[in-house]
Chains A and B, each alone.
Chain A
Amino acid sequence: MESPAPRQAAAELRAAHDDRGLHARRRAAQGRPVVGYFGCDTPVELITAAGALPVRLAGRAGRDTSSARTYLDGAVDPQAVNILAAILTPQDHDPVLDMIVITHDCDASLQLFYTLRELRRIGAETFPPVHFVDLLHLPGEPTRRHNLGRIRRFADQLAAWRGRAIDAAELAEAVADHDAARAARTELRRRRADALSGSEALRWYAAATAMPARQYADTLTAALAGAAGDRPAGRPLFVSGSTHDTAEVYDVLEDDGWLVVGEDHDWGDGGDQPLVGVPTLEALTDHYTRAVLPTIARPPHRMARDFSEAVRGSGAQYVLTYCRQYDDAHRWGHPARAAAAGVPAALLREQPYSDIDLPQLSSQLLSQEARMTR
């Protein structure tokens, strides 16, 4: 495909974020299936290799989630509830799905899967077929072996679904396409702090999970070619904690004079991955067991080290640990991260989906800053 001009490329990335069903509809119009997935460690290569478009499921601000909350009523991140609502009652801009894939990357994903499985069993709602891929992340050999079995099973399930096994050429092409997207994203991570607002960077990242991989790589590369080297204005802030699957919170922050220069959640910089390289199920297993670690599975020593490097590399002068309601696990690591950061660090708890308590943020950061400069 011919690379679009930088401005146009940037507009295409934004469009893929703002309307996550855009590319799914285009694919469907060609008679090709769309697979919605939940979990940062989903082996998307297998979905692509099976001829389908993988689209990461995202929430949407303002969606009515009351009926989904009835089913998924425990202490579950409202983002997952929002996604359940989209699965049960899709609206405009929600991708129309032929299959749903859920991995075991956190509590919320597991609860979402259990809820869908039980809704299907009792016949309470209708929705596309759901597959669960139980990928785990401890560093030992038992985990790797388990994951290899899960990845093989998933490849078989996809083969049965489309009526034909995934062949070596299909897998090789899919791995190459997704690796191209990874390489482009790594470039985005390197350059975003000096060229883009945080909300623009997050939109560009989010497009990766709603577009065909090769097309994304080309579009992002073209857009980056036009990204000028002058840093947007704002107090540079690093965002940790819960994931942000849409740009709302970043928009609010940046309207308030902050500039998000980096983050470690997996919808943004934290989704940076090394290349898979070798197109085999074994290589995919190694990649999704050890290279792709959900936040919760990152060992603390590694987390503190990665964290201080990421903060320094981004040029952030402030750190925010943002915890959505019921997504409290990040709080256990906050003191260590704050110490590693060496700059004022705020902790916001019980944040609603797609919103943030700005006055709290300012008061925590500015009071720490005053203490540190005294």
Chain B
Amino acid sequence: MSDRTIPRPRLNAAGDALRHQRDWFATLRGQAEQGRPFALVNADVPQELLRAMDLPYVVNQWWSSIISAKRMSGRYLEALRERGLPDDVEQYSALPLAEALSPRGDDAPWGGLPLPSVVLADCSGDSLRRMFQLWESELDVPFLPLESAAAEIVPENWWELMRHDWEMAIGTARIDLLHLELQELVPRLEQLTGARFSPERLAQIMALSNEQAEWNRRTRDLLASAPQCPVPVNDVIPAVMIPQWHRGTPWATAAAESLYREVSSLVAEGSAVVPHERRRLMWIGRGLWFDMDFYRSFEQSHGAVFVWSMYLALAADAYARYGDDPLRALAARFCAFRDQMYTPPWSVQWYTKEARTHRVDGVVHLISPDSRASWFTTHALRQAGIPVLEIRADNADGRSLDPAALHDQVARWIESLPDHE
């Protein structure tokens, strides 16, 4: 059998999204340089609120990914080190701060991020809060923190409850807290930036973003049920993620729809990443950002394909919130956000369900020191009869992993899995 990976052009949806992102950022940057306020927000902050104020925002983690991709992390982190600040704690979230503390250079990624007018983050994690405080103490940029409440009791199978029964799934106390905080945040942001909140706009934004989540769900369901995996997961990632940063805009909803249509037609054509798919795999944990090709390197040799991405799966299950009160629904979208992916039983039940519905033959579980509850994840998958390969890595930057050794380890494990043929 001659397994030959069919070279496939990048998804149109991915190319479109990348172009849109560049244009959007250039506009935002231009306006910021003319003095228009903008916010820098952590990924877990209810960004839809800012959109409903027509206040532009940049997501901290997205901008970090741009800095990393342009290989500027090392230089920017130097600025933290010089001030006696940690350059090895939450580096990823710290990169935009590090950039702001660094001397401005001509080689800044995408021209560099202008100084934000305000930064927002929730208080999840001891370091994150301390780090965001430095925007205020070192750069005079106001920091508006939000609480990150935790629940004592959580129900089973959150993904069946979150769209409509979120009040029950999350619990009134946590939703009340963020709901109230958002109500207090509006006048603070209005005062700091001069932007104006519009409840009507928020209602439209919630409707559009729910529609976007539905398209993502259809795409995910299609990829799960397609007889063979029609498109490499790392091509799906930008096509899903970039519209996520524009959640609640007509463009983002249309982008999610066109991704779905593109994947549907690939499935209808009978496309397959590997012509004779023999093993379907799932990756859990940090991505190997330094070696994206790794994911595809078992296609030819083993007929093995990674079929699942956390980004699409979260976009499919974790965002939709319906209800009559858009602000409360928005609070419900975010107040249990991390639990869905990090906190057992929610995280482990969800991974197990996704592994089953995607019919995976095995899971590669990368455990970095900041992973949470990894023993429980592996345990639950194995209880469900799914083979798991655990890989322990000190960090995801390649220093602690020997790529060749890792490749051999995974290859040997794949060979030990049952074969479809």
Q: Measuring CB to CB, which residues of chain A are less than 8 angstroms from any residue of chain B? A: 70-71, 73-75, 104, 106-107, 110-111, 113-115, 117-118, 121-122, 131-132, 134, 136, 138, 140-143, 145-146, 149-150, 296-297, 299-301, 326-329, 331-336, 338, 347
Contacts and interface: CB of A to CB of B under 8 A. Distances in A.
A339 to B, nearest CB: 9
Given A132-B152, A134-B149, A142-B184, A332 B85 contact: yes
Given A122-B376, A328-B89, A336-B137, A146 B130 contact: no
B84 interface: yes
Given A70-B375, A134-B149, 19 more contacts: A75-B370, A104-B149, A106-B126, A121-B345, A122-B380, A131-B152, A134-B150, A134-B173, A138-B123, A140-B184, A142-B147, A142-B177, A142-B180, A143-B177, A296-B130, A299-B133, A301-B137, A326-B369, A329-B129
A333 B376 contact: no
B126 A140 contact: no
Contact of B369 (A74, A117, A140): A74
Interface string B100-130: 0000000000000000000000010111011
A118 B184 contact: no
A14 B419 CA distance: 65
Contacts of A134: 149-152, 173
B145 interface: yes
A157 to B, nearest CB: 9
Contact of B127 (A142, A149, A328, A336): A328
Given A134-B152, A146-B147, A335-B83, A74 B126 contact: no
Q: Which of B126, B129, B151, B373 has the most CB of A within 10 A?
A: B126
B344 A334 contact: no
A336 to B, nearest CB: 7
A300 B133 contact: yes
Nearest to B89: A328
A14 to B, nearest CB: 32
A104 B83 CA distance: 30
B401 interface: no
Contact of A114 (B86, B89, B127, B373): B373
A145 B184 CA distance: 13
B130 A74 contact: no
B371 interface: yes
Interface residues of B, number: 44
Contacts of B345: 117-118, 121
A107 B181 CA distance: 22
B372 interface: yes
A146 B177 contact: yes
B285 to A, nearest CB: 11
Nearest to A338: B84
Interface in B328-359: 343-345, 348
B134 interface: yes
Interface string B129-151: 11101101100000001110111
A145 B180 contact: yes
A140 B183 CA distance: 12
Which of B123, B152, B176 is most buried by chain A, counting CB atoms within 10 A of its CB? B152
B407 interface: no
Contacts of B348: 118
B186 to A, nearest CB: 13
Interface string B220-232: 0000000000000
Interface in B261-285: none
Given A296-B130, A332-B134, A146 B376 contact: no
Given A146-B149, A331-B89, A118 B137 contact: no
B376 A74 contact: no
Nearest to A154: B152
Contacts of A138: 123, 145-147
Given A143-B177, A328-B86, A338-B84, A111 B372 contact: yes
Contacts of A132: 150, 152
Nearest to B370: A75
B127 A332 contact: yes
A27 B176 CA distance: 40
Contact of B126 (A107, A118, A141, A335): A107
B219 to A, nearest CB: 31
